[in-house]
């Protein structure tokens, strides 16, 4: 049975390593639910802080990555029910420390229009497809890595990704978005 590090310093170092290693995954999973980068960052921090709290309380979490995946999904769902706002563990100033990617508004204008259409179409897709697409293109994960993270079959991931891309391509064409831009 895996146990968390017992000394306070060792625990903090292990936690920081875990945060470095899985922060992008957790963010991607949160993002896949609401397609909101800032909210995904809030949920990511909340998930990691909850894990830290558990460690501080001496709770043994055998698979922190799986725990984070589950908690992040739950937090993202809770956000929809507004429960997150009531049950968040950290003060709001901790949540707003993320600065959005910086491009000048003029540079982004053209792409933003395309991305806004894409975001809308992605948001209309089934959640499982959104999750796969986010992990595939947000993190550059291959089917095997996605399957490992989500605990599903790699072949199914590959097939589902292909279908999701096809559907998305058709919808983009239907709304007049040139995907080659």
Partner 1 sequence: MNTKRNQLESSDDAVERLLSSYFRQEMPAEFPVLNIEPAAPTRSNRTSWSSQLRNRTVLVLSVVAVVFASIWAISARTMRTPTETGFDGSSAVKRAPFEKK
- Contact residues for partner 1, defined by CB under 8 A: 8-9, 11-12, 15-16, 19, 23-24, 27-28, 31, 35, 37, 41, 44-45, 48-49, 52, 56, 94, 97-98, 100-101, 103, 111, 114-115, 118-119, 133-134, 136-139, 162, 165-166, 168-169, 172-173, 179-181
- In the three-class reduction of DSSP (H, G, I as helix; E, B as strand; rest coil), residue 119 is classed as helix
Q: How far apart are the first and last CA of the chain?
A: 51
CA distance 121 to 35: 11
At its nearest, how many Å lie between partner 1 and the CB of residue 118? Answer: 5
Q: How many residues does the chain have?
A: 181
The residue (of 82 and 105) whose beta carbon lies closer to partner 1 is 105
Min. distance of Cβ 159 from partner 1 in angstroms? 14
Report the residue number, 11 or 158, with the smaller CB distance to partner 1: 11
- Considering the complex, what minimum distance in angstroms separates the CB of residue 148 from partner 1? 20
- Rounded Cα distance, 119 and 56, in Å: 38
The answer to whether residues 177 and 117 touch, using CB atoms and an 8 Å cutoff, is: yes
Rounded Cα distance, 120 and 177, in Å: 12
């Amino acid at each position: 049975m895996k146990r968390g590090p017992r000394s306070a310093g060792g625990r903090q170092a292990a936690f920081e390593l875990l945060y470095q290693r899985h922060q992008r995954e957790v963010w991607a999973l949160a993002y896949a639910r609401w397609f909101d980068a800032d909210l995904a960052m809030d949920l990511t921090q909340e998930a990691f802080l909850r894990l830290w709290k558990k460690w501080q309380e001496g709770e043994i979490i055998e698979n922190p990555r799986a725990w984070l995946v589950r908690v992040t999904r739950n937090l993202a769902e809770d956000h929809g029910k507004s429960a997150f706002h009531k049950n968040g563990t950290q003060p709001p100033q901790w949540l707003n420390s993320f600065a959005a990617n910086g491009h000048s508004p003029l540079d982004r204008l053209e792409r933003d229009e395309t991305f806004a259409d894409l975001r809308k179409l992605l948001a209309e897709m089934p959640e499982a497809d959104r999750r796969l697409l986010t992990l595939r293109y947000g993190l550059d994960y291959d089917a095997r890595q996605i399957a490992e993270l989500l605990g599903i079959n790699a072949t199914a991931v590959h097939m589902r990704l292909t279908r999701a891309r096809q559907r998305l391509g058709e919808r983009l064409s239907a709304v007049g978005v040139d995907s080659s831009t």
